Amino acid sequence: MIRSEQGRLTSRGLRSLVETGVQTGLGILALAPFVVLVGLVGYLIWVSIPVFRYMRWGFFSHIAWNLGNLYAYHPVLVHGVRVMPGAEFGAFAFLLGTGLTSLMAICLAVPIAFLLASAASFGVSWPWRNILAILVEMMAGVPSVVFGLFGFIVLGPAIATQVGPWLNHWLSPIPFFSGPVTSETNLLTATVTLTLMVIPIVATTTRVAMARVPRDWVDSARALGWTEHEVFWHVIWPHSRAALTGGTILGLGRALGETMAVLMVSGNALNVLPKNIYSGVSTMAATIAGQLDAALTDPTRMAVHALGTLGLILMAISLAVNLIARVVVVSDGQTDHAGGGLAHGIL
């Protein structure tokens, strides 16, 4: 009897030991994202400090990005920081390029994505809606380098020879649309390429929310004699609005951070601001990737630090966008359980 009691006690002790071990392990694992995020932000802030000491607020307002005279015999000391003579690190052109490409891509992508999602969930008849939904989701899985290649080989020449001159002809009274189309890789090509990449994200998020609207609501609206169009606007749309917002922010996040495709089609313009949509641009993400090789040749490492600072700003913008999306979606989701909940889940 006593032996059996002891046996039970021993087994319970072992079990509790295992449980404690598992809980501790999971607790440590749960800390990992926090450690990674803090480590990453901490590192980026650390590499940015000398850049801000050297450039001050000029980092945000200057246009020139110049590694300085790399053949100089000695680095110079400016504001207590060693840099190559004549070095200048201004991120304004990249900030503008990132903002322009991303926002223009969103403006083009959201209406198209909304129409695609509406068609795939309500507009076209079975089985076309399923086929459309699968095609849109497949688009989301295409690697960005493939989009970049498509942009470079197909879109760029088409924009330089057909679309650009046509836009210039018809929209030239609008300042930003007027000007000669001199290059295949420019702001417009980058925007259209990004648009193709953003559309599936926004469309899929919205379509899933639309498909999740309870069938009872749709049926009862139909039973009230509403047309399909009226059912869509009064029942489907109010419930997918939050998801469209969420999808748009997700798409914006992708457009802001997209590197490879933009690097291939934007023209990588340094030291100039785009005069019109046919000008070459560069974004922060593309500059980090495109300029890394050159930056490594800077013996003071200041150029690498400057790219790290671009990374810090890009990360801050992405986090801010994500935060805003949460606020928007949560406030919308309070009156809209289906779409809001979905978009909230995705974000």
Task: Check binding of 292 to other proteins (CB under 8 A).
Answer: no
Q: Which of 227, 271, 297, 331: binder of other proteins (CB under 8 A)?
A: 227
Which residue, 141 or 225, is less far from other proteins as judged by CB?
225
Q: Which stretch binds other proteins (CB under 8 A): 189-197, 220-228, 262-270, 299-307?
A: 220-228
Residue 5 or 216 having the CB closest to other proteins:
216
Nearer to other proteins, 235 or 244 (CB): 235
Q: Closest approach of Cβ 213 to other proteins, in Å?
A: 10
CA terminus-to-terminus distance, the chain: 58
* Residue from 6, 20, 69, 335 binding other proteins (CB under 8 A): 335
Among 92, 150, 177, 217, binds other proteins (CB under 8 A): 217
Q: Does residue 19 belong to the site contacting other proteins (CB under 8 A)?
A: no
Touching other proteins, residues 123-142 (CB under 8 A): 125-127
**By CB under 8 A, residue 92 contacts other proteins:** no
| Total binding residues toward other proteins, as defined by CB under 8 A | 23
* Using rule CB under 8 A, residue 15 touches other proteins: no
Q: Which is nearer to other proteins, 18 or 224 (CB)?
A: 224
Q: Which of residues 104-123 bind other proteins (CB under 8 A)?
A: none
Beta bridge partners of 76: 83
Please report, as ranges, the residues that interact with other proteins according to CB under 8 A. Answer: 125-127, 214, 216-217, 219-227, 230, 234-235, 238-239, 335-337
